[in-house]
Amino acid sequence: MWAGVRQRFRRFHEVLNLSKDQIDDGLVKQLGVRKSLHRAYYGDSTDEPLGFIVGSWGKGTAVAPPSDVDIFFELPVDVYHRIQTYQGNKQSALLQEVRGHLLSTYSQTNMRGDGQVVIVGFNTITVEVVPAFRYDANGRFYMPDTNDGGRWKLVDPQAEIAYIDAADRNSSGNVRPMAQMLKTWKRHCNVPLKSYQIELLVAEFMQNYLYRHHDHFYYDWFIRDFLAWLCNKAWANLTIPGTLALINLGDAWLSRAQTAHDRAIRACDDEYNDYTISAGEEWQKIFGHHIPIQVL
């Protein structure tokens, strides 16, 4: 029984990991952006500019092929005080200022300010820049949010990374692969959950999951049981690590989660009976072509 599960999910996981070329490309692009902003705001050139990688790259949950890499860039506090003297949407003004500095380096690159970030659209990968001001010595920052007239949003990106890291260690390294797989479901089925929400949900689920210390042989149950658990999270609040802000999940994603759960039940039954091709067909309805149909 279950002859194909370990091989199927191991191969699925391998396909989702970034290649060396993808990693190198993203690292080079984000470093160049940070160097450009360091020159603009601190007046010197350095191979070790301020700023750091956040988002899925920072958490180790990026999925191939990567669409973007997210970075924080810490600005001098005097820039915050200057921007605060502006009339109107101060946060939008900051994004446009950062965009202008980057255009001096990347004049042929498509670039725009968008909500909370400056998007630098390189041909191979997008770099999304969060210009931020240090709030305290504990790693919290103010970042701009241009929506609804503009505001400063308190965030703690390192606490989010640490939370995922701790959950992953507590689950024998299974949180990150699960997050990658479920973000593939999000992409394939157009699930209206954000990537960071999926990461936090997976971490929450896996921390007390009975089988969390097992390997790929249990991943069919991992997926089935997570989706069952997720279906009970409609309108629940997520607590953001570090700031303890509450984000309500709503229920726009619920019907897709219920459909995926039904398919996962059928796939698990087929795996149990070693109907490996039938199981693979059901898994592909959830994850697309990244998960193999034939495994034996």
- 152 in Cβ contact with 142 (< 8 Å): yes
Q: Tell me the per-residue pLDDT of 61-97, one tens digit each, with 9 for 90 and over.
A: 999 999 999 999 999 999 999 999 999 999 999 999 9
pLDDT (average), residues 173-202: 98
Q: Tell me the per-residue pLDDT of 46-59, one tens digit each, with 9 for 90 and over.
A: 999 999 999 999 99
Residue 289's pLDDT is what? 96
- 230 in Cβ contact with 239 (< 8 Å): no
What CA–CA distance (Å, rounded) separates 73 from 31? 11
Q: Chain centroid to CA 45: how far?
A: 30
Number of Cβ atoms within 10 Å of the Cβ of 65: 10
pLDDT (average), residues 208-217: 96
Closest CA to 264 of 222, 210, 292, 216: 222
Kindly list the distances between the CA atom of residue 76 and the CA atoms of 38, 40, 42, 50, 82, in Å, as whole numbers in the listed order.
Answer: 10, 11, 8, 11, 10
Name residues whose C-beta falls within 8 Å of residue 43's C-beta, 6 or more positions apart in sequence: none
Q: What is the 3-state secondary structure (H, E, C) of 235-259?
A: CCEEECCCCCCEEECCCCCHHHHHH
Residue 114's pLDDT is what? 86
Query: Which phi and psi (to 5°) does residue 227 adopt?
Result: -65, -35
Kindly list the distances between the CA atom of residue 106 and the CA atoms of 67, 75, 82, 294, in Å, as whole numbers in the listed order.
Answer: 19, 20, 25, 46
E strand segments, 18-140: 52-54, 68-74, 110-114, 117-121, 126-134
Residue 296's pLDDT is what? 73
Looking up tokens 């109107």, which residue turns up? Answer: 88
pLDDT (average), residues 148-160: 95
CATH of 20-156, one of 3.10.110.10, 3.30.460.90, 3.40.50.970, 2.40.70.10: 3.30.460.90
What CA–CA distance (Å, rounded) separates 154 from 226? 30
What CA–CA distance (Å, rounded) separates 52 from 258? 37
Give the tokens for residue 265. 């039940």
| pLDDT band (50, 70, 90) for residue 1 | confident
